[in-house]
């Protein structure tokens, strides 16, 4: 079986995208792992298949590099929107669905996508840091020096902590730079490593920092892969109208024999 794929990146978070409209695309876990493998396959932080959806413009099916399916991916969602536009499936604005529900999005200019995330209903203190769900589970820890931390050594035990099982959690390390700017490094489950950027992690870090340090909106988030912007409203302890905005870029396309 030969598959036509498209490679995108959003602040260094890279994804393989497949158009599942028409004849559709059905991959095994082993094939997903192969495609995401950086040594033997194409290489990516995740794989996304766009499917026909009766409730919205398309359904975003997201897989981690280990082949596990995930509820949502913020940066992946932004690349999915740009991909759908390039494939002629949507106009500049869209409503699409993922496992965590419906999302609105808009393409701004040539390479920026503004994506609405689901509401966040609680930010919980734990022995590991602040815990919240922004489409997937996240722990946020605040540190003084991001460059010196051994992120894998510290994050991996938290990722697998019994408290967050069976799903497990991503782990974000955050440094507050000023009243509306933070810097973030994220360990992502499914990837089982640090990524250059994480969309849901960026949102989790911004909300957690806002709660703890009373930051000003919009919150600018520096990741190793680039700069993202997060805005939201807080009403009765619920965070609503959450938007993640930043660049998304098409890298290349190709064909691969599975």
Name the residues annotated as catalytic.
73, 198
Nearest Cα residue to 136 out of 163, 152, 156, 118:
118
d(CA 66, CA 55): 29
The per-residue DSSP string of 115-162 comes to EEEPPB---EEETTEEEEESSSEEEEEE-S-TTT--HHHHHHHHHT-G
| Exposure class string for 147-168: b at 16+ Cβ within 10 A, else e | eebebeebbeebbebeebeeeb
E strand or H helix at 74, and its extent?
Answer: helix 74-86
d(CA 128, CA 161): 9
Nearest Cα residue to 136 out of 71, 228, 194, 202:
71
d(CA 51, CA 80): 11
């Amino acid at each position: 079986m030969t598959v036509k794929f498209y490679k995108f990146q959003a602040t260094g978070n890279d994804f393989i995208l497949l158009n599942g409209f028409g004849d559709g695309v059905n991959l095994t876990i082993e094939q997903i792992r192969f495609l995401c493998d950086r040594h033997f396959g194409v290489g990516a932080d995740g794989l996304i298949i766009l499917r026909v959806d009766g409730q919205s413009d398309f359904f975003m099916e997201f897989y981690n590099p280990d082949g596990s399916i995930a509820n949502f991916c913020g940066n992946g969602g932004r690349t999915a929107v740009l991909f759908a536009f390039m494939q002629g499936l949507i106009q500049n604005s869209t409503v699409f669905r993922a496992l965590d529900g419906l999302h609105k999005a808009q393409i701004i200019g040539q390479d920026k996508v503004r994506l609405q995330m689901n509401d966040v209903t609680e930010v919980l203190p734990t022995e590991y840091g602040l815990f919240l769900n922004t489409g997937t589970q996240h722990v946020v820890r605040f540190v003084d020096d991001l460059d010196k931390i051994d992120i894998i050594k510290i994050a991996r035990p938290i990722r697998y902590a019994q408290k967050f099982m069976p799903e497990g959690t991503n782990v974000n390390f955050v440094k507050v730079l000023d009243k509306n700017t933070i810097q973030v490094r994220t360990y992502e489950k499914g990837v089982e490593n640090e990524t250059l950027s994480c969309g849901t992690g960026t949102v989790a870090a911004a909300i957690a920092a806002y709660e703890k340090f009373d930051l000003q909106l919009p919150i600018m988030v520096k990741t190793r892969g680039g700069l993202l912007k997060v805005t939201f409203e807080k009403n009765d302890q619920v965070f609503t109208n959450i938007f993640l905005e930043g660049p998304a870029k098409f890298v290349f396309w190709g064909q691969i024999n599975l």
